A and B are shown apart, each in its own frame.
Chain A
Amino acid sequence: MRALAAFADWPHLLPALFLLPLAGAALLPALLRTRPAVAWASALAVALATTMLAVLALVRLLGDGDYGYAMAGWAPPLGIELRYDRLSAITLLTGALVSLALLFARREMTGAGRRQAVLYCSLVLILLGGMNGFVITADLFNLFVFMELLSLPAYALVAMSPARGAALAALKYLLPGAVSSLLVLFGIGVLHALTGSLNMADVAVRLTPGGPSPATVLALVLISVGLLVKAALFPLHFWLPDAHSAAPGPVSALLSGLVVKMGVVGVVRMFDVFGPALGGAMQAFENLLLILGVLAILTGALAALVQHELKRMLAWSTVANIGYIFVGLGLAGSAAVSGGIAHVFYHGLTKAGLFLAAAALVERTGLHDIDDLRGLGHRMPLAATALSAGLIAVAGVPPTAGFVGKWQIALGALEAGRPELLVVVLGGALLALAYGMRVINALFFRAPVSDQVVTASEAPASMLVPSVLLVALALAGGLSGARVIEFILPFAESLGGR
């Protein structure tokens, strides 16, 4: 531990968190022609090194508390500041772990040659770099740049699927994504015009004397609508089911597990920027998030229940779970907010594992519908078990991963004197259990109906290992839920200058 702490004092830890994966991504295609096999190993090494850096940053956080870094030595608020807090720590760790797992699955870029596998690794690393930058930056414009840096590879990754129609799915993802980015930039422009500053803390201070002026509200509306499209909160989720189900398996895992969560992180940052200035008006915003979250839980879970396609069902389940996160944020009590953030972490791990396991089943058989996959549990026991365990975890059966966040959110609802929300939290979980059971029943307890199922064999290790590991991590994480909550609580308590 002491040796780790010595490393953790390295001053340039924070910029290295995003520069390392970005540099790795830029250098990978150079290996494409000469040594494609080495390219994959070096991508893994870069992701592993980034994970180590994330752990080091966490060690330092536990020792010293939140800390910042002035880019290129320019002191904030003039220069760009990076800030590492508990929210950054938990999202960084999720991102690094999931990306590491997904790089393993690179061969499952369906029928992809080595060329595509290298490009896949490179794009995943760019995305990882963008996410790392996004969660640690304390500068508004920097936030926008990193948001684009993580969105562009996401569009490209959806289009990487050799299946026909993938380009259209990517385009349907790109157009709302690009508009939402513009809205965020517009809002940032308004904030800069109002305050003359881009540093988040500085903007928050300079906004405060103006109070809840129309221009401030306009900025909040623009930025939050933009970020909520990225986070796919109902009713701005319209692009998600198409994009997430059309993408190749590992890419869906990345999108559902991580990319939508970045919108959530952005919204949480905005609480700090606008909270002091808007004061009471912020309450209206929180209430809106709460209502939309409730609607998202209900529509997401109900839509998931009636889907025929396995991956589309998982995509709708993401819509419902984003709803849970926003119910937590909207309740605004420290218990509920910590529950929402814990759910970001747990849902990220679980959903990534789920999509990988689902991709293994779907791509081994070429069948997409749940009904066609009947009986596959006996031919592909490991992948089917991972999928089932993941589904149970997502439903939030105690003591699995999904339970921690939902329990905290329910506690928060009671704390806020809104017991009627318990019905929604529980109802959503029961619906999730229902659609989970439907899949588990089809996989294990029904006779096969299609030839592809009878002749299927277990998925390759490159796909099994990451999905089983992620689901196992999610299950084990559920057991240590109290520690995760304890870790986030100080952040949740200080959010929005409360």
Chain B
Amino acid sequence: MLQALFSHIDYVAVTVLFCAGLYIMIARGNLLKKVIGLNIMETAVFAFIVTTGMIDGGDPPLLEQGLGPDFASPLPHALVLTGIVVAVSVTAVALALIVRVKREHGTIEFDELGEPR
């Protein structure tokens, strides 16, 4: 059990990071912190996808250098790059909305948000 945990230390780290982000999302009342929690979760998922392309002792996937029998998969990087673009756009929209919430309600603490002023 412990052996398995150590050999997949990356998965453990990713899970911890994901849960930390989710906790911040749920437990924190500040809208900005919620968005930061979201970003932490995103980072966790991206890190997970990148690590799945890795092979221990594998070559980098560069054709000019000649490929050995084992080489890292380049596809996850392309996926994560797309994912980052999507995540940045979502964050941008969220931040713009938070600015408007602040203007309309005078606060960005979830508990203090009542009726708009």
Contacts and interface: CB of A to CB of B under 8 A. Distances in A.
Interface of A: 141, 144-145, 148, 152, 155-156, 159, 164-165, 167-168, 170-171, 174-175, 178-179, 181-182, 185-186, 189, 192-193, 196, 198
Nearest to A193: B52
Contact of B101 (A155, A168, A179, A189): A168
Contacts of A159: 97, 100
Contact of A182 (B35, B42, B104, B117): B42
A282 to B, nearest CB: 25
Contact of A189 (B35, B52, B86, B90): B52
B20 interface: no
Interface string B83-117: 10010011001100110110011000000010111
Contacts of A198: 75
Interface in B4-29: 18, 22, 25
B104 A168 contact: yes
Contacts of B101: 167-168, 171
Contact of A192 (B35, B38, B76, B90): B76
B82 A175 contact: no
B104 A186 contact: no
Interface residues of B, number: 34
Contacts of B49: 185, 189, 192
Contact of B79 (A141, A148, A152, A155): A141
B30 interface: no
A170 B98 CA distance: 10
Interface of B: 18, 22, 25, 31, 34-35, 38, 41-42, 45, 48-49, 52, 73, 75-76, 79, 82-83, 86, 89-90, 93-94, 97-98, 100-101, 104-105, 113, 115-117
Given A174-B97, A178-B38, A189 B105 contact: no
B22 A175 contact: no
Main secondary structure of the interface of A (DSSP, over half): helix
Ranked nearest first, the 7 interchain pairs of A and B with the lowest CB-CB distance are A164-B116, A167-B100, A193-B52, A189-B49, A165-B116, A148-B86, A171-B97
A179 B38 contact: yes
Contact of B97 (A148, A164, A167, A179): A167
Contacts of A171: 31, 94, 97-98, 101
A179 B94 contact: no
Contacts of A179: 22, 25, 38, 41
A199 to B, nearest CB: 12
Contacts of A148: 86, 89-90
A164 B38 contact: no
B90 A141 contact: no
